[in-house]
Amino acid sequence: MHIILVSDRLATARTITITARHLVLAVFGFALTVLAVSSLFSYVTVRHAAEVRLPFLQSLLVSVRDQETRVTQDFMRENLNAMAVRLGQLQARLMHLDTLGERLGQLSGIRTPEAQPIDKSGQGGPLISPSRALTPHDLQLQIDQFSRQLESKGDYLGLIESEMIDERVRKNQLPTALPVEAHWNASGFGWRIDPITGAQAMHEGIDFIADSGTPIVAAAAGIVIAAERHPAYGNLVEIDHGNDLVTRYAHASRILVKEGVLVRRGQKIAEVGSTGRSTGPHLHFEVRFKGAPQNPGRFLQNARQQKQTLARRK
């Protein structure tokens, strides 16, 4: 494109040639100018509206801020409501945990701590116009309270668990399981007429009448300290249950354990026989505390009661 310039000041006419490159540069420069002017206007109006004190711009800024504030408040309110619902669920579970802890405490004999009590009375009813929503401060107070209660209940239940484990270990170490599924009042503990000599003699255990080969099991968990042949006891097994408590199983036809092994409660350790000083197949069972013979019937009475209870249920 050619442009011819004619003027009184010019001696001759001047011709200007405009190419496509010139047009592109002109459009690009115009766009940059418009962008710079608009950016400057936006900066002046938004950043300095308060100083300029233009009513329209100030009202626009206030509206934008109010809208952002409402969005933020709505978001926080939704989250607070969700946290409040979750806290309600945690409170219900804490009440259930407290009730369970009281029951376990009664079984274990450990008193429930009176600190940080929880109201377990019935609560409910329709929700009518709640006075106000929970604030973050209220929620934090509730969380702190629940944390203290959970810590207290955790320590209490841990104590119960420890006590019940100890009690279970103690019971497992007491010889209260029947060593043979048979009658054990054939020859009781104490003074009796010796079946061989016919003279009065001390019987330091009780006898279970059973057929040869009947399984003999450990009356409690422990360590085998003897598994040997004895002149009077015949095939003998001795188990140490700790705390100076030992049980003896005599006259066995066959010994199934070795000295030094750990046996569990109810584990088969031998079979009934008539070895040693015996008049027929039976198990001679003794309980000794610090070497002194004890009446095994006192330990086995619980096992007899449990067996009778199971028989009545069947």
Ranked by mean pLDDT, the top range of 184-188, 291-295, 301-305 is 291-295
Written as six digits, the tokens of 275 are 């070895």
pLDDT digits (tens, 9 = 90+) for 194-253: 777 778 788 889 999 999 999 999 999 999 999 999 999 999 999 999 889 999 999 999
Question: How do strand 222-230 and strand 234-240 relate by DSSP bridges?
Answer: antiparallel
Instruction: Lowest mean pLDDT of 19-33, 61-75, 122-136, 297-311, name the range.
Output: 122-136
Query: Which two structure tokens, joined as six digits, stand for 218?
Result: 């450990």
- Which residue, chain included where needed, has tokens 């008539």? 274
Sign of CA dihedral 145, 146, 147, 152: positive
SS3 for 186-246 is CECCEEEECCCCCCEEEECCEEEECCCCCEEECCCCEEEEEEEEECCCEEEEEEECCCCEE
Return the structure tokens found at 284: 């001679």
pLDDT at 307 exceeding the cut of 90: no
pLDDT digits (tens, 9 = 90+) for 128-165: 444 455 677 777 777 777 777 777 777 777 777 666 76
pLDDT at 126 over 90: no
Distances (CA, A) of 56 to 49, 59, 64, 207: 9, 5, 12, 108
147 neighbors 91 (Cβ within 8 angstroms):
no
Average pLDDT for 98-117:
62
Residue 265 main-chain phi, psi, to 5 deg = -65, 130
User: What is the sign of the dihedral through the CA atoms of 60, 63, 69 and 75?
Assistant: negative
Residue 124 has pLDDT above 70, yes or no: no
Are 220 and 265 a contacting pair, CB within 8 Å? yes
Of the ranges 66-80, 204-218, 251-265, which one carries the lowest mean pLDDT score? 66-80
Check whether 284 has a pLDDT greater than 90.
yes
Q: Beta 234-240 vs 268-272: how paired, if at all?
A: unpaired
Mean pLDDT of 244-267: 95
C-alpha triplet 254, 219, 288: angle, nearest 5°: 95
Which comes out higher in pLDDT, residue 42 or 65?
A: 65
Is the pLDDT confidence value at 115 over 50? no
From residue 206, alpha-carbon distances to 28, 147, 186, 191, 217 in Å are 114, 56, 8, 11, 15
Question: Quick one: pLDDT at residue 267?
Answer: 95
